[in-house]
């Protein structure tokens, strides 16, 4: 029975030593190895064998991009306003050895360095500039942190000001200012809309008056042209009638005889006053003179 127990103990020791000896490094990670307290090598991804007692794993570094969300910091601006700033830092480890030996606690050091640098940057600008110049602050903070963390094996890829929180009374004043600005813009928009409406209305009325005047002018022109055309046609008809009379041989004497016949008919009527045209009187005188010459007139 005792030999069996001894064998089990020996197998347990062997398995334990084997498990503690065989190490598998995952992808995107590196292990820093020391031999008898001194740096020996850096294990890449894959299977490795660790010699117990004389070798040990000092640090495990992940090469994935990491995000450090630091606690809000109280910062005083150039115009003596205390604000609370929340910072987020994105970084990657590029050297496992530097990350293991560069700083005692690299993430804690990065947080404190970020806080002090942020205080220096915000202290040089006013509150309004801090609220409107986040991109500039982010770029400056990223440059400073990236240069300072190189000896720690850390590469700072991006820095963002997550939140800038001014005091409560400053918030109320800013809200009142924003409300006043919105009301001002609204009043300006309404005034511009009213002005545009009045201008368009006046323009429409002017165009309507112009169209009405043009229509009246065209109507009067058309009316005058119609009257002129009617008069022209009347005179043209009279001229054509006289031309026809002339063509059939009606001379002045025939016309005068016709006038006398018409006068006779008028004399047989009931009229008490007869107006004799001058031409007809002259014609009658001419006929009397011809009768005397021919001896046909009656003696008085």
Closest among 264, 257, 251 to 283, alpha carbons compared: 257
Average pLDDT in the 180-190 region? 84
pLDDT value at residue 89: 93
pLDDT value at residue 142: 92
The dihedral of CA 105, 107, 110, 114: what is its sign?
Answer: negative
Residue 32 clears pLDDT 90, i.e. is over it: yes
Count of helix runs (H) and strand runs (E) in the chain: 8, 9
pLDDT value at residue 291: 47
Give the largest CA-CA distance in the chain: 204
Q: Is 101 exposed, middle or buried (0-12, 13-18, 19+ CB in 10 A)?
A: middle
- Distance separating alpha carbons of residues 252 and 279, to the nearest angstrom: 11
Residue 67 clears pLDDT 50, i.e. is over it: yes
Q: 122-172 pLDDT, tens per residue?
A: 888 888 888 888 888 999 999 999 999 999 999 999 998 888 888 777 777
pLDDT value at residue 296: 45
46-49 and 82-93 beta bridge pairing = unpaired
The encoded tokens of residue 288 equal: 């009397």
> Do 49 and 23 meet the contact criterion of CB atoms below 8 Å apart?
yes
Q: 103-121 pLDDT, tens per residue?
A: 888 889 999 999 999 989 9
- Distance separating alpha carbons of residues 87 and 239, to the nearest angstrom: 109
Please count the CA atoms within 13 angstroms of the CA of 78 that sit on its side-chain side: 10
Q: 266-294 pLDDT, tens per residue?
A: 555 554 544 445 554 555 555 454 445 44
pLDDT value at residue 297: 45
- Distance separating alpha carbons of residues 206 and 66, to the nearest angstrom: 71
Mean pLDDT computed over every residue of the chain: 79
- Residue 28 DSSP class: T
- Give this prediction's pTM: 0.54
pLDDT value at residue 140: 92
- Classified as helix, coil or strand, 66 is strand
Q: 216-272 pLDDT, tens per residue?
A: 888 888 888 888 888 888 878 777 766 766 666 555 555 555 556 655 555 555 545
Distance of CA 189 to the CA centre of its chain: 16
Between the alpha carbon of residue 161 and those of residues 69, 85, 137, 259, the distances in Å are 10, 7, 8, 121
Q: To 5 degrees, how large is the angle CA 192–CA 197–CA 200?
A: 125
Length of the chain: 300
Closest among 152, 127, 130 to 141, alpha carbons compared: 130
Q: For residue 218, what are the β-bridge partners?
A: none
Q: Is 133 exposed, middle or buried (0-12, 13-18, 19+ CB in 10 A)?
A: middle
pLDDT over 90, % of the chain: 17
- Distance separating alpha carbons of residues 118 and 85, to the nearest angstrom: 9
pLDDT value at residue 93: 92
**Residues 212-227 as b or e (16 or more Cβ within 10 Å = b):** eeeeeeeeeeeeeeee
pLDDT value at residue 254: 56
């Amino acid at each position: 029975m005792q030999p069996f127990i001894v064998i089990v103990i020996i197998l347990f020791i062997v398995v334990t030593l084997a498990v503690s000896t065989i190490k598998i490094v995952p992808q995107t990670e590196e292990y820093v190895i020391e031999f008898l307290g001194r740096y020996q090598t850096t294990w890449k991804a894959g299977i490795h064998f660790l010699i117990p007692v004389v070798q040990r794993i000092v640090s495990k570094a992940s090469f994935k991009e990491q995000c450090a969300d630091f606690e809000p910091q109280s910062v005083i601006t150039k115009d003596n306003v205390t604000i609370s700033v929340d910072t987020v830092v994105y970084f990657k480890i590029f050297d496992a050895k530097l990350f293991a030996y560069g700083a005692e606690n690299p993430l804690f050091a990065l947080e404190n360095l970020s806080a002090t640098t942020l205080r220096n940057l915000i202290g040089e600008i006013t509150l309004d500039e801090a609220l409107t110049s986040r991109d500039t602050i982010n770029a400056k903070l990223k440059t400073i942190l990236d240069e300072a963390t190189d000896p720690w094996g850390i590469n700072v890829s991006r820095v963002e000001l997550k939140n800038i929180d001014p005091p409560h009374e400053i918030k109320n004043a800013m809200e009142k200012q924003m409300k006043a600005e919105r009301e001002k813009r609204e009043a300006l928009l309404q005034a511009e809309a009213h002005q545009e409406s009045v201008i368009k209305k006046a323009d429409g009325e002017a165009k309507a008056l112009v169209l009405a005047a043009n229509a009246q002018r065209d109507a009067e022109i058309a009316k005058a042209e119609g009257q002129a055309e009617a008069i022209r046609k009347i005179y043209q008809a009279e001229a054509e009638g006289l031309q026809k009379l002339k063509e059939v041989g009606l001379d002045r004497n025939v016309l005068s005889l016709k006038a006398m016949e018409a006068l006779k008919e008028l004399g047989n009527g009931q009229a008490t006053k007869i107006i004799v045209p001058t031409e007809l009187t002259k014609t009658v005188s001419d006929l009397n003179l011809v009768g005397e010459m021919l001896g046909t007139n009656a003696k008085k």
